[in-house]
Amino acid sequence: MSAKRQNGPLGRPRYWTKAKAALSAADQVLGGVIERHPQGCLAGQGDAYGTLARSIVAQQVSVRSAESIWRRFEALVGTVSPDAVRAKSEVTLRTAGLTRQKARYLRDLAVDFADGRIGPERWVRRDDDAVIEALTTVRGIGRWTAEMFLIFHLLRPDVLPLADVGLQRAVGRHYADGERLSGERIAALAEPWRPWRSVATWYLWRSLDPHPVSY
C-alpha cells in the first residue's frame, strides 16, 4: 500500500486572518458568526484523492450519514489512498454503506489516480473555472464536488457553492428568518464577501455544526 500523495497546500491558509477581518468589516451578521466561533479554520491536508473521495461519499446525504459511512470506509480500506481503494472490489466497498454508484465512482477514481490518468498537481496552477471544468469530466464528480475540492484541497479563497444545502440553511437562518433563499439571492447577498467567499461559507457551515466541516 502506498503512502498518501501530498499534492496540495497544507495547513491553515495564509489569508485566513486577513479574510476574517475583511468579512467582519463588510458584513455585520457574518461578523457576529465569526466572533461566536473563534476556534478552528480551514486546513489543507494535501491529499487530493482523499478530498474527492470524501466529497463523493457526502453527495446527497446528511452530514451525519456521510461521517458514519466515511468512518466505515476508512476502517475497511485502512489508509485511504488510490492503491488501497483499488485493491478492494466494488462489492466489498459497498459493505461500508456506499451505494453501488458511489462504490464504482470511488474505485474508478482510485484506478485513474494510481495509473496517472488524473494528475492533481496540474490543477494547482489552474484558475477555479478551469479546475471545475477538468474535474467535472470525471465520472461521479459534479460541480458541488469540484467546489469542495477547490475549498478544501486547493484552499481557494473565493468559492461560493450555491447548491450546498448547508450554506443554504445557514444563510436562511442568519439572513432570512429561516426562509430558504434561491441561489440568485444568496449570490447577491454574498457579493460583499468577495474575495473571501470560501471563508464566509466555512463560518456559515460552522454555525450549524459544533464540528468543523472537512473534506
Is residue 4 pLDDT above 70, yes or no? no
Domain segments of the chain: what residues? 15-43+159-206, 45-152
Which CATH homologous superfamily contains domain 45-152?
Hypothetical protein; domain 2 (1.10.340.30)
Q: What is the fold of 15-43+159-206? A: Endonuclease Iii, domain 2 (1.10.1670)
- Against a cut of 0.85, is the pTM above it? yes
Whole-angstrom Cα distance, residue 144 to residue 132? 9
Is residue 38 pLDDT above 50, yes or no? yes
C-beta atoms surrounding 133 within 10 Å: 13
Average pLDDT of span 81-104: 96
Please provide the average confidence, as pLDDT, over all residues in the chain. 93
Q: Tell me the per-residue pLDDT of 118-155, one tens digit each, with 9 for 90 and over.
A: 888 888 889 999 999 999 999 999 999 999 999 999 99
* Residue 71 identity (one-letter amino acid): R
Residue-level pLDDT at 1: 35
